[in-house]
Chains A and B, each alone.
Chain A
Amino acid sequence: MADSQSLSQTPSEAFSKTSAVLERQRRAKIRRNLFYLALVVVGLVAPFVAYPVFLMKVLCFALFASAFNLLLGYAGLLSFGHAAFLATGGYITGYLLASYPGLTPELGIIAGTLVATVVGVVFGVLSIRRQGIYFAMVTLALAQLVYFVYIQAPFTGGEDGLHGVPRGELFGFINLSNSLAMYYFVFAIFIFGFAVIQRTVHSPYGQVMKAIRENEPRAVSLGYNTDAYKLVAFVLSAALAGLAGSTKTVVFQLASLTDAHWHMSGEVILMTLLGGVGTLLGPITGAGIVVSLQHVLGQSPLGNWVSVILGIIFVVCVLSFRSGIIGELARMYNKNFK
């Protein structure tokens, strides 16, 4: 072990790690920050290159998939009911903005997110004690319950859904009918959501969460009430999924049953697995690919075959590259450049 330690370190750091390790971590951190900065720049110029509504759709689903990944990838819980949170956020925001013309879109989004969070607490309390497939089944059953509520409830417009939700004026003075303004608003929400996830993963809570995922009985024997920690992850994930749904409603000016359907819960699993579960960039990549495929195939003669093609991709992904696109890339990178 190297014994030369730079003077700038605090004694505890000097004691804890050798300078070589610290230096390596510092470089990796700079590289990571530069990489994120580059992504932000790409995000900022993207609407000048691509169709903004398409990009906004990608961002909404990227946030949704990232929220799902927080639960599956970092807490090890497979939820099959995340559509309920996406739809709840969407319906509440849509209903409020359509019914109260004075309400600004950011307040509508906050309200939608809060209600989705409350639904998340209810789901979480009822399901968190179950393990594995039983957990997935309980969340699926609850999400189906929510689906039927949204078919019947008067405020959702039933089979027709909510249409013509006004985008309104952000903070009362930025007109969101301008698609560039709308795009940057969505982009800011996405960055916020991503930052929350990134911080959660690298927080004191994130450490305990990781320990629980690695070995739950051991975490219990260290005195942690693991159900409570898992519940926090579940509620955070539900809240961010709700945020994605609320934002999506403002972008497309509609909320429909498609978002509440169990297909949507499946689609988010596909996005996350395809991109790479347990990686921060995986769900974003996966969402981008799935949304792009739907977009491209939807306009081609293969339009009716979208589900089949996505299904085949899913099978190939599970059979041949289980760690997803980003997971595989990270492995190749680590093998060749380290």
Chain B
Amino acid sequence: MSADEARETDARGAFVLETRGLTKEFRGFTAVDDVNLQVQEGHIHALIGPNGAGKTTVFNLLTKFLPPTRGEILYRGKPITNMKSNEIARMGLVRSFQISAVFAHMTALENVRVALQRELGTSFHFWKSEKTLDHLNERALELLEEVGLREYADTLTVEMPYGRKRALEVATTLALDPIMMLLDEPTQGMGAEDVDRIVELIKRVSKGRTVLMVEHNLSVVSRLCDRITVLARGSVLAEGDYDSVSRNPLVREAYMGSDAAEEEEAQA
């Protein structure tokens, strides 16, 4: 099923992504424990929690990079629990990575074009010239323009500054025209200026899409997110909008002693 078909055959259920009793055990250690997550269509939904709360594990479960021990994952009302990562990507559920995931020794343009070229159906054609991809350049440049990277088109990605790489990753993700984006710590390791730029970018590209993000930076969460789920020790501790979550005493307690607690103090 292509992303377009997925869009059309949308059951218009309230939740784009839903988990039921999602559990992941690693040799007796329960990293994710009976998580029921519901992401509403059009929302920017944040997954937060102290270090080791299982956020990234949940992410890897949702995107099929890890198989769950128990539980179910529904995307647009359909179970995707037993699908492969590349299959759900084709259904419009596309993730980013904690460490910037770019193709370092390709130009920015080629990075985006690799995402665009899958739709052509010629990606196994080793006997064709790569010039047959040139007509995708225009679309690739539009996408680069959208994230402010037009002038980097012919630059090797490895030579780009860190913040720009994250922006390029967003452009590459957008190339797939995703219905839902899963962003793993999109502002991690960035200076204040880059953070602002990425926040604006996420705000802009999330129009008409649903976003689920793992984020440490609570100021980013408060500026962007419609709904927040707090994880602690693998299970859901609280859920709600920023104000209700940040006032929750359980949440405050869970954050005590971790780095994020200080950020939260600063925020409050």
Chain A interface (Cβ within 8 Å of chain B)?
1, 12-13, 15-17, 21, 199-200, 202-208, 210-211, 214-215, 217-226, 228-229, 232, 236
Which chain B positions have C-beta within 8 A of A223? 86-87, 89-90, 94, 118, 176
> In the bound complex, do residue B106 and residue A210 qualify as a contact, i.e. CB atoms below 8 Å apart?
yes
> In the bound complex, do residue A214 and residue B105 qualify as a contact, i.e. CB atoms below 8 Å apart?
yes
> In the bound complex, do residue B89 and residue A220 qualify as a contact, i.e. CB atoms below 8 Å apart?
yes
Contact of A217 among B101, B104, B113 (CB under 8 A): B101
Q: With A15-B141, A220-B89, A224-B118 known to touch, is A205 a contact of B101 (CB < 8 Å)?
A: no
Selected interface stretch from B46-54, B132-140, B199-207, B226-234: B132-140
Task: List 13 extra interface pairs beyond A15-B138, A217-B97, A218-B97, CB under 8 A.
Answer: A12-B137, A12-B138, A13-B137, A16-B138, A200-B126, A203-B126, A203-B127, A207-B133, A208-B114, A208-B117, A210-B103, A221-B97, A223-B176
> In the bound complex, do residue A225 and residue B84 qualify as a contact, i.e. CB atoms below 8 Å apart?
yes
Contact of B86 among A13, A206, A224 (CB under 8 A): A224
Report the bound CA distance from A217 to B94 in whole Å. 12
Which chain A positions have C-beta within 8 A of B140? 16
- Any A CB within 8 A of the CB of B35: no
Which chain B positions have C-beta within 8 A of A219? 114
- How many residues of chain B are within 8 Å of chain A by beta carbon? 48
Chain B interface (Cβ within 8 Å of chain A)?
63, 65, 84-87, 89-90, 94-97, 101-106, 109-110, 113-115, 117-118, 120, 122-130, 132-135, 137-138, 140-141, 151, 153-154, 172, 176
> In the bound complex, do residue A207 and residue B172 qualify as a contact, i.e. CB atoms below 8 Å apart?
no
> In the bound complex, do residue A1 and residue B128 qualify as a contact, i.e. CB atoms below 8 Å apart?
no
> In the bound complex, do residue A17 and residue B126 qualify as a contact, i.e. CB atoms below 8 Å apart?
no
Contact of A203 among B87, B103, B120, B129 (CB under 8 A): B129
| Nearest opposing residue in chain B for A208, CB measure | B123
* Residue among A199, A200, A221 facing the most chain B CB atoms (10 A cut-off): A221
Which chain B positions have C-beta within 8 A of A205? 123-126, 128
Q: With A204-B123, A205-B123 known to touch, is A16 a contact of B137 (CB < 8 Å)?
A: yes
Q: With A13-B134, A223-B118 known to touch, is A217 a contact of B151 (CB < 8 Å)?
A: no
Which chain A positions have C-beta within 8 A of B124? 205, 228-229, 232
> In the bound complex, do residue A211 and residue B126 qualify as a contact, i.e. CB atoms below 8 Å apart?
no
Contact of B127 among A199, A211, A218 (CB under 8 A): A199
Distance in Å from the Cβ of A36 to the closest Cβ of chain B?
16
CB-based closest 4 A-B pairs: A223-B89, A218-B101, A16-B137, A214-B103
Q: What are 19 sample pairs from A and B whose C-beta atoms fall under 8 A apart?
A: A16-B141, A203-B129, A204-B117, A204-B120, A205-B123, A205-B125, A207-B110, A207-B113, A207-B123, A207-B130, A208-B123, A215-B102, A217-B65, A218-B101, A220-B89, A221-B86, A222-B114, A224-B86, A225-B84
Which chain B positions have C-beta within 8 A of A199? 126-127, 129
> In the bound complex, do residue A221 and residue B101 qualify as a contact, i.e. CB atoms below 8 Å apart?
yes
Which chain A positions have C-beta within 8 A of B125? 203-205
Report the bound CA distance from A208 to B126 in whole Å. 10
* Residue among A203, A204, A208 facing the most chain B CB atoms (10 A cut-off): A204
> In the bound complex, do residue B101 and residue A204 qualify as a contact, i.e. CB atoms below 8 Å apart?
no
* Residue among B89, B94, B113, B120 facing the most chain A CB atoms (10 A cut-off): B89
Distance in Å from the Cβ of B200 to the closest Cβ of chain A?
24
* Residue among B105, B117, B126 facing the most chain A CB atoms (10 A cut-off): B126
Which chain B positions have C-beta within 8 A of A13? 134, 137
> In the bound complex, do residue A203 and residue B95 qualify as a contact, i.e. CB atoms below 8 Å apart?
no
| Nearest opposing residue in chain B for A232, CB measure | B124
> In the bound complex, do residue A222 and residue B172 qualify as a contact, i.e. CB atoms below 8 Å apart?
yes
> In the bound complex, do residue B154 and residue A218 qualify as a contact, i.e. CB atoms below 8 Å apart?
no
Q: With A15-B138, A204-B120 known to touch, is A236 a contact of B126 (CB < 8 Å)?
A: yes
Distance in Å from the Cβ of B226 to the closest Cβ of chain A?
24
Contact of A225 among B86, B141, B154 (CB under 8 A): B86
> In the bound complex, do residue A222 and residue B105 qualify as a contact, i.e. CB atoms below 8 Å apart?
no
Report the bound CA distance from A229 to B128 in whole Å. 15
| Nearest opposing residue in chain B for A1, CB measure | B151
Contact of A211 among B103, B128, B135 (CB under 8 A): B103
